[in-house]
Chain A
Amino acid sequence: MPTVDQSPASIQVLTDREDQVWTKGSGKQFACDRKSTAGSVTQRACAFCGSRVVLYPIADALHIVHGPIGCAVYNWDIRGAQSSGPQLHRNSFSTDLAEKEVVFGGEKKLQASLLELIRYYRPKAAFVYSTCIVGLIGDDVEAVCKTVSRETGIDVIPVDSPGFKGTKKTGYEAACKAAYRLVGTGDTSGISRYSINLLGEFNIAGEAWLIRRYFEQIGIQVVSTITGDGRVDDLRRCHGASLNLVQCSGSMTHLAQLLERDHQIPSHRVSFFGFEDTARALYAAAEFFGDPEIMRKAQELVRSEIATYAPQLKAYKQRLKGKKAALYVGGAFKAFSLVLALRSLGMQTVLAGTQTGNAEDYEQLKAICDPGTVIVDDSNPLELAKFVLEKDVDLFIGGVKERPIAYKLGVAFCDHNHERKIPLAGFEGMLHFAREVAESALSPVWQFAPRRAMRHHQLSTNGGEA
């Protein structure tokens, strides 16, 4: 068997991707916002996945995936998005197309499926996701939706998301378009002048509840969290809010734009990750309303929250100081917050990448990173492994698909994806984050991992700390 050079330097970055890998200080060009290179094992999913992720937490809607079974079943109840009431969204409904429908069309089956499901589950609305096959066989999904809508009296909304139509981002846009069909159809009476919508918040592990509480505490009404713990009726009336706060901008920018265009609601990009960004988000909203009382309350809240959590955080910082981190997440705005949060723990980000960041996001990310930091767009496991090794990182932040890259190489890992079950947003979330990081990075198990064992040995013979 030929021996293959397995050193990190021998991992090639594919020619087509060379400009999607960038090192701060290199002066090179950087490209993003592209389709994935064929044969590069991209960590991205597809357009369908993008729309499914975004609309998933709308809990009182029926979500049915029109296509063969895989697309639907791989999404069944894997996400951490929580609902305070209905659990309908946690089912995986599919038309599960068989060969004959692929040949003769799946409209009939779709229609029959919708009718029986709507009668049985009595949802407030239904979303119908088109997958690749449906895009190809040319089912008139829109027409079926119309018919069923007429017959059942609820909104039945097509989501035009065949996977091949583009990246996850294309799917985000399809989701925004679909959700927007509900907007503006509800009664807005009783909505305060001091009111906001939270866009791009998915209520992973109850995060939306936490953030909502902050706003209510400072006297701002949250009309709709759109997706997180989402309800159809909230979406219908969300155009009554005065301001949109857009988190995870990649997924929801389009909806914010539509709301601005048709309902003149301005939007503001925020993040609720880390002390700094959470405080900034609250202040931004307070400032927008120009009410001194709101601002005072916001400051008070920030002060008291920080007073509660900062001391505990300090203890973690002492133990984590100097460690090097890699992060690979969905959107660049989150990456940006993570770099800051890690820095506040005394850690340095040496590798940062995202699946779907755009040029603007990356500019911001580049600006705050330290010289020498590698930035990657739409990366793959080999590239990530290469830089984990070359940069000798101690911690990797990513999702399930990145986890084995870290673990196999004896590197700590923190899950920062939709599948996690631990709230990381807000002030309290920062403490959870620090704990997550510390529990992995400071675990005694690494002393046995071959890549770490040597180092551990050296350190302990030097009398140093592992």
Chain B
Amino acid sequence: MNTVHLSPDLRTASGELPEGDVPEIATRNACKLCSPLGAALVFKGIRGCLPFLHGSQGCATYIRRYLISHFREPVDIASSSFTEDDAIFGGARNFAAGVDNVIRQYQPELIGVATTCLSETIGDHMLGMIKTYQDKHAGDGPPLVHVSTPAYTGTHSDGYYATLLAVVRQFAQRTSLRLPHRVNVLPAIMSCEDLRHLRECCEAYGLSATMLPDYNSTLEGGSWDAYHWIPPGGTSLDEIGEMGAACATLEIGHTQAANSQSAAAWLQQTTGVQRLALGWPLGICLADHFFTALSIASGRTMPRRFAEERARLVDAYVDAHKYVAGKTAAVFGEPDLVVAVASFLSEIGIKPVICATGSKQKQWKELIREALASDIGEFTALSGADHAKIATAARELKPDLLIGSSKGYPLARELDIPLVRLGFPIHDRIGSQRLLTVGYRGTLELFDRVVNALLEVKQSTSTSGYSYL
């Protein structure tokens, strides 16, 4: 085997292939990030909101660093900067001082407080601290919202959805009023371009969408002429307040559909907003569901442009089907993304032989199987997986293609197969914010990337090197 391209997880300290029992207990190269990152992402999508992590500062700095390398935008996240004393005696003092300083410097419209493992473990009583703080300020200053995000109980994906619920629960007004043509959109962890396209689709149906979060411009804004404390954009608290009066909530992500504690479920139970639980609208089947939901919410039929996009997509499927026929892929990342990609692949004749996520997802295999558009036979579904496990499976099953984040690169290099970058983080390519994967248009973009990656392999491994395929 070519040792130069061996993945680091497949070498001993002296560069040889390891032997013996494969480690099972330790996590080797995790396929997940920690829950406060998901919380920060939601907070970044609320107008004027500054994320605040209650705990030691390292967590905030690491999360900032990671988000910055993916989005290539400023990401300011404050922390209460615990010291040893705070870890022992509780962080109330630092919390209050930290919030004061954040208000002084940033003048935020909202402070989004997420806990870290540390503050969760010492049992800091966040709601009490927030109340004390608010009493002291007698209603002055921005509101605070709190979400509990200990990383030892979930991943960034879990943190993200927990934060959606926390925000909605705190700010959405309980009302029986219905605003006509108003829908809520609760996206999964998606690219900025995805968020923009979701909104565009709603608008094309005459719907006005309150999207939570909407970080499309806070995490992919223009070049500035003056410094912005907090980047412009995001959903305002007023809009969030009205979420209880929308006609329907379009809730994206298969994992949420089964979640009776989701933000959309809460809205339905509390204020009667119809919950339309959808998968990530990638691939014709899932995109069809999405557009159907828009029809239900708006009472309108599909606008012509989408019908045309769909037609072009079908046409592209047909044009390229032989290039992809019989190919296999390994897909990894956030659970909702993986399910959608698997479904999409099953539409075009690529078999997703490995579907892996770092989240501990109940009924993972069933979830995927139900979303498939065709019977693909047996496949390996890994939940709670790390990259070492994914690599082990891939070495055995030898997929033609990897689909997932930059973290799959060492494996792609080792197996000498293409990696189609998708998900989070992508920090070895430019443009992760702009990867479109929703709707017919997004499907087509991904489809082209997938097919072309395979064509490139075909071409570069051919002896003749024809420029015509």
**Residues of chain A lying within 8 A (CB to CB) of residue B151:** 68-70
For A42, give its contact among B62, B74, B81 (CB under 8 Å): B81
Q: In whole angstroms, what is the CA distance A136 to B55 when docked?
A: 12
Q: In the assembled complex, how far is the CB of residue B52 from the closest CB belonging to chain A, in whole angstroms?
A: 8
Assess whether B26 is interfacial by the CB under 8 Å rule. yes
- Contacting pair B8 A119 (CB below 8 A): no
Q: In whole angstroms, what is the CA distance A70 to B98 when docked?
A: 22
Assess whether A172 is interfacial by the CB under 8 Å rule. no
Q: In whole angstroms, what is the CA distance A46 to B79 when docked?
A: 12
**Residues of chain B lying within 8 A (CB to CB) of residue A6:** 226-229
Segment at the interface with B among A9-17, A214-222, A272-280: A9-17
For A132, give its contact among B118, B222, B225, B229 (CB under 8 Å): B118
- Contacting pair B27 A96 (CB below 8 A): yes
For A449, give its contact among B19, B25, B223 (CB under 8 Å): B223
Q: In whole angstroms, what is the CA distance A72 to B94 when docked?
A: 25
Assess whether B261 is interfacial by the CB under 8 Å rule. no
- Contacting pair A73 B30 (CB below 8 A): yes
A interface footprint on B73-86 (CB within 8 Å = 1, 0 otherwise): 11111111111101
For B55, give its contact among A78, A96, A132, A450 (CB under 8 Å): A132
- Contacting pair B30 A400 (CB below 8 A): no
What residue of chain A has the Cβ atom nearest to residue B221's Cβ? A408
For A39, give its contact among B19, B32, B75, B99 (CB under 8 Å): B99
Assess whether A71 is interfacial by the CB under 8 Å rule. yes
Q: In the assembled complex, how far is the CB of residue A448 from the closest CB belonging to chain B, in whole angstroms?
A: 7
For window 1-57 of chain A, which residues contact chain B by CB distance below 8 Å? 4, 6-8, 11-12, 14, 16, 35-49
- Contacting pair B105 A40 (CB below 8 A): yes
Q: In the assembled complex, how far is the CB of residue B129 from the closest CB belonging to chain A, in whole angstroms?
A: 13
What residue of chain B has the Cβ atom nearest to residue A399's Cβ? B65
For A102, give its contact among B28, B82, B97, B117 (CB under 8 Å): B117
- Contacting pair B81 A37 (CB below 8 A): yes
Known: A40-B105, A41-B76, A381-B74. A74 touches B33 (CB 8 A): yes
Assess whether A299 is interfacial by the CB under 8 Å rule. no
For window 48-73 of chain B, which residues contact chain A by CB distance below 8 Å? 52, 55-66, 68-69, 72-73
Segment at the interface with A among B10-18, B241-249, B452-460: B10-18
**Residues of chain B lying within 8 A (CB to CB) of residue A121:** 11-13, 18
Between B18, B20, B57, B77, the greatest number of chain A beta carbons within 10 A of the residue's beta carbon is seen for: B57
**Residues of chain B lying within 8 A (CB to CB) of residue A132:** 55-56, 58, 82, 87, 116-118
**Residues of chain A lying within 8 A (CB to CB) of residue B68:** 400-401, 403-404
For A70, give its contact among B22, B59, B86 (CB under 8 Å): B59
For A87, give its contact among B8, B61, B94, B98 (CB under 8 Å): B8
A interface footprint on B19-55 (CB within 8 Å = 1, 0 otherwise): 1111111111110111011000000000000001001
**Residues of chain A lying within 8 A (CB to CB) of residue B12:** 88, 120-123
Q: In whole angstroms, what is the CA distance A443 to B351 when docked?
A: 45
**Residues of chain B lying within 8 A (CB to CB) of residue A87:** 6, 8, 11, 15
- Contacting pair B87 A135 (CB below 8 A): yes
Q: In the assembled complex, how far is the CB of residue B240 from the closest CB belonging to chain A, in whole angstroms?
A: 15
Q: In whole angstroms, what is the CA distance A102 to B75 when docked?
A: 30
Q: How many A-B residue pairs have CB under 8 A?
A: 290
- Contacting pair A136 B118 (CB below 8 A): yes
B interface footprint on A85-125 (CB within 8 Å = 1, 0 otherwise): 11110111111111101100000010011101101111110
Assess whether B9 is interfacial by the CB under 8 Å rule. yes
Q: Interface size on B (CB < 8 Å)?
A: 91
- Contacting pair A133 B117 (CB below 8 A): yes
**Residues of chain A lying within 8 A (CB to CB) of residue B58:** 45-49, 71, 132, 163
- Contacting pair B26 A122 (CB below 8 A): no
**Residues of chain B lying within 8 A (CB to CB) of residue A96:** 26-27, 30
**Residues of chain A lying within 8 A (CB to CB) of residue B269:** none
For A94, give its contact among B27, B66, B116 (CB under 8 Å): B27
- Contacting pair A77 B26 (CB below 8 A): no
For window 160-210 of chain A, which residues contact chain B by CB distance below 8 Å? 162-166
**Residues of chain B lying within 8 A (CB to CB) of residue A92:** 28-30
Q: In whole angstroms, what is the CA distance A133 to B27 when docked?
A: 17
Between A71, A112, A165, A405, the greatest number of chain B beta carbons within 10 A of the residue's beta carbon is seen for: A71
Assess whether A389 is interfacial by the CB under 8 Å rule. yes
For B25, give its contact among A12, A113, A389 (CB under 8 Å): A113
Assess whether B305 is interfacial by the CB under 8 Å rule. no
Assess whether A284 is interfacial by the CB under 8 Å rule. no
For window 64-82 of chain A, which residues contact chain B by CB distance below 8 Å? 64, 67-78
**Residues of chain B lying within 8 A (CB to CB) of residue A109:** 25
**Residues of chain B lying within 8 A (CB to CB) of residue A97:** 152
- Contacting pair A91 B74 (CB below 8 A): no
Known: A4-B107, A401-B65. A120 touches B100 (CB 8 A): no
Known: A43-B61, A46-B57, A62-B13. A73 touches B33 (CB 8 A): yes
Q: In whole angstroms, what is the CA distance A97 to B458 when docked?
A: 44
Assess whether B150 is interfacial by the CB under 8 Å rule. yes
What residue of chain B has the Cβ atom nearest to residue A46's Cβ? B58
- Contacting pair A86 B13 (CB below 8 A): yes
Q: In whole angstroms, what is the CA distance A46 to B25 when docked?
A: 27
Assess whether B451 is interfacial by the CB under 8 Å rule. no
Assess whether A451 is interfacial by the CB under 8 Å rule. yes
- Contacting pair A381 B87 (CB below 8 A): no
Q: In the assembled complex, how far is the CB of residue A318 from the closest CB belonging to chain B, in whole angstroms?
A: 28
Known: A96-B30, A120-B21. A450 touches B223 (CB 8 A): yes
Known: A91-B8, A91-B28. A70 touches B62 (CB 8 A): yes
Known: A41-B77, A120-B23, A408-B223. A60 touches B13 (CB 8 A): yes
List 21 A–B pairs whose Cβ atoms lie within 8 Å, in order of A's numbering: A35-B83, A38-B98, A41-B64, A41-B76, A45-B58, A68-B34, A69-B27, A69-B155, A88-B13, A91-B8, A93-B26, A93-B27, A113-B23, A117-B23, A132-B55, A135-B87, A164-B56, A164-B87, A382-B76, A407-B223, A408-B221
Q: Give chain B's interface residues, CB within 8 Å of chain A.
A: 6, 8-9, 11-15, 18-30, 32-34, 36-37, 52, 55-66, 68-69, 72-84, 86-87, 94-95, 97-102, 104-107, 116-118, 121-122, 150-153, 155, 221-229, 388, 407, 410, 427
Identify 15 new A-B residue pairs, CB closer than 8 A, beyond the known A40-B105, A44-B57, A76-B407.
A42-B61, A69-B32, A87-B11, A88-B11, A94-B30, A96-B27, A102-B152, A116-B26, A117-B23, A123-B13, A137-B121, A163-B82, A385-B227, A404-B73, A450-B224
Question: 6 tightest A-B contacts by CB?
Answer: A46-B58, A70-B34, A39-B101, A39-B98, A38-B98, A113-B26
